[in-house]
Structure 1
Amino acid sequence: MASAKDRILDSFEDILIKEGERAATMDAVAAAAAVSKGGLLYHFPSKESMVEGLCERLEALTAEDAEKIGAASEGAARYYVRTSLYVDSPLDRAIVAVARLVQQGHPAAAQAFARIQDLWLKALEQALGSRPLAQAIKLMGDGLYYSATFFSGSALSSEVTDGEMEALLEQVDALVARN
């Protein structure tokens, strides 16, 4: 069973994703996490401390992903683009929740988001040996992620089929080969 602290962060994340920042009150988070208000305050004395905890979670998950970029047997560029589809993973959920906080002007969230973007770019640049190529690959993956995350289920949704992904990865291979 998850620790109370993890349940609180999971609940905070879930409320942010489903209902937005305004709904993520201390009372709502405590109720969703099945902890007392005192229990919540023990781990997170303020809403801002929950924001910081969620940002720390996002940065830790991103660091793990950045390690995978460098170690990917298929190559860093293919890995980054292929994994740039929203699959409701812990990393996906943390990204969307922190993005909601960024939209509401939370400085800690904006700073964390900037750090994770830089971390991914540096991991790609190190693996690919070229900053412009790393930027191109990152923007390609980010576009896929943005589309999958924010337009899924809408009229603007464009689900990427396996065939389309393979064709896209062939273009990634061509970009990498040109470098």
Structure 2
Amino acid sequence: MPRPPHARDKVLAAYVGLLVEGERGATMDAVAARAGVSKGGLLYHFPSKDALAEAVLELFAQVSGDDLVAMRSAPEGAAKHFVRTSWQVDHELDPIYRAALRLAQAGHAGALAAIDDLHQQWLAAIEAEVGDPGVARTIMLIGDGLYHQTSMPGTWSHDTFAAALPDLLAQVDRLCGR
């Protein structure tokens, strides 16, 4: 039988969930309520919203680092891996990425730097494979467009892109001269 999550993990997951829904609603009281802990229990693990934000960014660094390792070692190559995974909003990285993005949108300098760094590393991995900065940026934009479309409400984009993914990956191959 798996152990129940520790209070710290529950609090951090609650904060991530609230950030994804909207940064303004991610108050300390809301975090404690969603995590099912007392305010004192919350403050024991995270004495401030800044401490919560830093924990999100630590988790973001860990999960995005794992994603970069997978991207760089993907048998299909970094470019196709990036496009293939860009529309998967059920991936472990997605809610943490969106939480970091919300923090960045709210002016958190560390979150903005972390998002920028991840995007630069994604681009560098693609460029290292394809050898052309313009092609690498185009592939990034394909992936970003997929992510944007599949994060929209409804099922149209998910169903459409699931069927179109092989064609998009073939386009990536053409862009890369394969």
User: What one-letter code is carried by the residue in structure 1 that aligns with 2:177?
Assistant: A
Moved runs in structure 1, 4+ residues, more than 4 A?
none
Alignment match, 1:131: 133
Could you state the TM-score of these two structures normalised by the residue count of structure 1? Answer: 0.87
- Do structure 1's residue 152 and structure 2's residue 156 form an aligned pair? no
**Which aligned pairs between 1:26-175 and structure 2 lie closer than 5 A?**
26-149=28-151, 151-153=152-154, 158-159=157-158, 160-175=160-175
Q: Distance in 2 between matches of 1:131 and 1:2?
A: 44
What's the Cα RMSD here?
1.9
Is residue 2:176 matched to residue 1:176? Answer: yes
Q: Is the 8 A contact 2:89 2:147 kept in 1?
A: no
- Partner deviation per Cα, 1:24-55 (whole Å, 9 max, x = no partner): 11111112112222222222111011111111
Q: Tell me: CA distance 1:47–1:82, structure 2 relative to 1, closer, same or farther (3 Å).
A: same
Give 1:148 shift: 1.4
Stretches of structure 1 that go unaligned for 5 or more consecutive residues are none
TM-score (norm 2): 0.88
Alignment length, in residue pairs? 174
Q: Counterpart in 1 of 2:13?
A: 10
User: Aligned in 2, Cα 1:162/1:22: closer, same or farther, shift over 3 Å?
Assistant: closer
Instruction: Give the Å deviation of 1:161.
Output: 3.5
1:59 offset after TM fit, Å? 1.8
Contact 1:44–1:50 (Cα < 8 Å) also in 2: yes
Task: Give how far 1:7 is off.
Answer: 1.2
Is the 1:133–1:176 Cα contact (8 Å) retained in structure 2? yes
Name the CA distance, whole Å, in 1 between partners of 2:91 and 2:142: 20
Deviation at 1:61, TM superposition (A): 0.9
- Residue deviations 1:104-144, cap 9 Å, x none? 22222212211211221222233334433322211211111
Q: Distance in 2 between matches of 1:130 and 1:45?
A: 47
Give the partner amino acid of 1:148: T
Q: Which runs of 5+ in 2 are unaligned?
A: none
